[in-house]
């Protein structure tokens, strides 16, 4: 008798399992919009606004790179650029992934300077005809408040361990030898940028140098000079990535989880650090386009 009850209970459990599994598949297909959550997928990495850090972006890229079901990654870039270090770190992580998975860069309204630096790591770059891109160059800004401070009777004192330790101080003007030193650093970082573009876009260094003077291009112009592969929108980039990865049918697309800024993080965490950096005068060397060009 007990065995009979066990069999009945097991049968009911199996029926319930099959019912709920079928229900799950139905809602996944009905609500997901991109098909069932199985099979080969295309993952999206979003890079928006000024690039100030790389950790969160690289964490996403690495996670997608380790998943066997993700066959391609679309990097959606809507950024005017940002810090040299973060841009180079994201580029390097993408370059690693592009060796084993297909990576497509999709340019939004702006993908310039540091934004383009990152895009160069992709196997293919897709831009809108009117995307603002290019701006291959490096900039470093300093403020000189010496005359203003003299007018208000404010004096500042600097105690330093070496001749160049207070280079760029707002308390005084910059000497010619200091300008040459800073310019040498900028020229070296600019040379790195030019080399990255030439290597990834299969262009000669001399060709890249001709337009690597900070000038911006439309997406259509960029395509004509070899900085962009195709003209198209975000969906075109997804379709291109799926095709390159040989995904049959409509691909399942995975988007990054949207996370808001918590009050605690804002006061004590990364958000506070970013604000302090801006108040203290930026992020050092920057891959940024001419003034007035932004992503929003």
The single residue of 7, 160, 165, 179 carrying the catalytic annotation is: 165
Contacts of 114 (CB under 8 A, 6+ apart): 51, 79, 80, 81, 82, 83, 84, 86, 87, 286, 287, 288
Determine contact, residues 114/224, Cβ cutoff 8 Å. Answer: no
Vertex 64: Cα angle to 59 and 68 (nearest 5): 145
The single residue of 54, 87, 106, 113 carrying the catalytic annotation is: 113
d(CA 289, CA 292): 8
Rg (CA), the chain: 25
165 an active-site residue?
A: yes
> Do the bridges between strand 82-83 and strand 286-287 make them parallel or antiparallel, or are there none, so unpaired?
antiparallel
Helix/strand number for the chain, H first, E second: 11, 10
Determine contact, residues 123/94, Cβ cutoff 8 Å. Answer: no
Q: Would you please indicate which residues are annotated as catalytic (active-site) residues? A: 113, 165
């Amino acid at each position: 008798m007990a065995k009979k009850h066990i069999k009945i209970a097991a049968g009911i459990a199996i029926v319930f399992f099959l019912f709920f599994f079928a229900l799950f598949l139905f809602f996944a297909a009905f609500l997901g919009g991109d098909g069932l959550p199985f099979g080969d997928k295309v993952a999206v990495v979003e890079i928006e606004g000024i690039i100030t850090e790389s950790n969160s972006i690289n964490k996403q890229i690495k996670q997608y790179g380790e998943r066997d079901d993700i066959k391609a990654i679309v990097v959606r870039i809507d950024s005017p650029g940002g810090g040299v270090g973060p841009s180079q770190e994201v580029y390097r992580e993408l370059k690693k992934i592009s060796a084993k998975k297909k990576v497509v860069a999709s340019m939004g309204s702006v993908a310039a300077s540091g934004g383009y630096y990152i895009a160069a790591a992709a196997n293919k770059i897709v831009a809108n005809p009117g995307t603002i891109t290019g701006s291959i160059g490096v900039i470093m800004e300093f403020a000189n408040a010496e005359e203003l401070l003299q007018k208000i009777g404010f004096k500042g004192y600097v105690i330093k361990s070496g001749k160049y330790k207070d280079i760029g101080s707002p308390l005084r003007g910059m000497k010619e030898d200091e300008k040459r030193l800073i310019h040498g650093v900028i020229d070296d970082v600019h040379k790195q940028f030019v080399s990255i573009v030439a290597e990834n876009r299969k262009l000669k260094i001399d060709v890249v140098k001709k337009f690597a003077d900070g000038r911006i291009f439309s997406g259509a112009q960029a395509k004509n000079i070899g900085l962009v592969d195709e003209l198209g929108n975000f969906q075109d980039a997804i379709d291109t990535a799926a095709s390159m990865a040989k995904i049959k049918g409509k691909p399942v697309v995975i988007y990054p989880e949207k996370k808001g800024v918590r009050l605690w993080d804002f006061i004590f965490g990364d958000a506070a650090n970013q604000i302090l950096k801006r108040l203290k005068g930026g992020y050092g060397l920057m891959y940024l386009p001419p003034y007035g060009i932004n992503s929003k």
